[in-house]
Chains A and B, each alone.
Chain A
Amino acid sequence: DAGITQSPRHKVTETGTPVTLRCHQTENHRYMYWYRQDPGHGLRLIHYSYGVKDTDKGEVSDGYSVSRSKTEDFLLTLESATSSQTSVYFCAISEPKSGSTAREQFFGPGTRLTVL
């Protein structure tokens, strides 16, 4: 398995509180991603990073912000959590191979977040 850890693995919080989820990788991959997984929706991209301090929005970015100050860490912040953000959050990493444009993503174990 790829060296990806997520913390915390489970969290229960209340509406309106800030929450930060951490993704840490030991693979030195350039690209990192945050997805959320909801029943009937599959996985949807929230934000991604293509390098230190370089981030961009995904399909469902409203209500979320990210930061990447080091190659190995990618933080996802919910500034003011809402019940609609109750979900399982997965981090993923990817690295373009030299001489190829093909790349695959490797996923972390996930964080189950419940917003009451």
Chain B
Amino acid sequence: AQSVSQHNHHVILSEAASLELGCNYSYGGTVNLFWYVQYPGQHLQLLLKYFSGDPLVKGIKGFEAEFIKSKFSFNLRKPSVQWSDTAEYFCAVNPPGGGADGLTFGKGTHLIIQP
């Protein structure tokens, strides 16, 4: 069974600091990779996704992620965070194919940005 590990459960940063959230997955084949964000009291929103092609993907709000196949990793980055980036961040994976497989999520990283 596939699994997703997010290394940092809680991260506290100051505004303008750089951010990197780790995500590793265990799955032997090709996968689709996602980062979702959940602002306080809201539903999950897609930040970015990787299906194939350029391993460096850019998402909304200045976020980007790099897929490193050899390391089974898909780390999320942002060069300069803002107070409004305070949220819960989830890495998720599902295998490609025409099936309806659900997403496997990591346990999430709670990010707090201090003014």
A residues near B (Cβ < 8 Å) are 30-31, 33, 35, 40-45, 48-50, 56, 58-59, 90, 92, 94, 96, 100-110
Cα-based distance from A104 to B103 in the complex (angstroms): 9
Q: Does B62 have its Cβ within 8 Å of any Cβ on chain A? A: no
- Residues of B56-107 contacting chain A, CB below 8 A: 90, 92, 96-107
Cα-based distance from A101 to B102 in the complex (angstroms): 14
List, sorted by A's number, 18 A–B pairs whose CB atoms are closer than 8 Å. A31-B100, A41-B107, A42-B90, A42-B106, A42-B107, A48-B102, A92-B103, A94-B100, A100-B51, A101-B96, A101-B98, A102-B96, A104-B49, A105-B102, A105-B103, A107-B45, A108-B43, A109-B42
Q: Does B17 have its Cβ within 8 Å of any Cβ on chain A? A: no
Cα-based distance from A83 to B31 in the complex (angstroms): 35
DSSP class of B's interface residues: helix, strand, loop or mixed?
A: loop
Q: Does B46 have its Cβ within 8 Å of any Cβ on chain A? A: yes
Seed contacts A59-B102, A104-B46; 9 additional CB < 8 Å A-B pairs? A30-B100, A31-B100, A42-B90, A42-B106, A45-B104, A101-B96, A105-B103, A107-B36, A108-B43
Q: Does B34 have its Cβ within 8 Å of any Cβ on chain A? A: yes
Nearest Cβ distance between residue A70 and chain B, in whole angstroms? 17
B residues near A (Cβ < 8 Å) are 32, 34, 36, 42-46, 49, 51-52, 90, 92, 96-108
Q: Is the CB of A33 within 8 A of B90?
A: no
Residue of B52, B106, B108 most packed against chain A (CB within 10 A): B108
Q: Is the CB of A48 within 8 A of B100?
A: yes
Nearest Cβ distance between residue A90 and chain B, in whole angstroms? 7
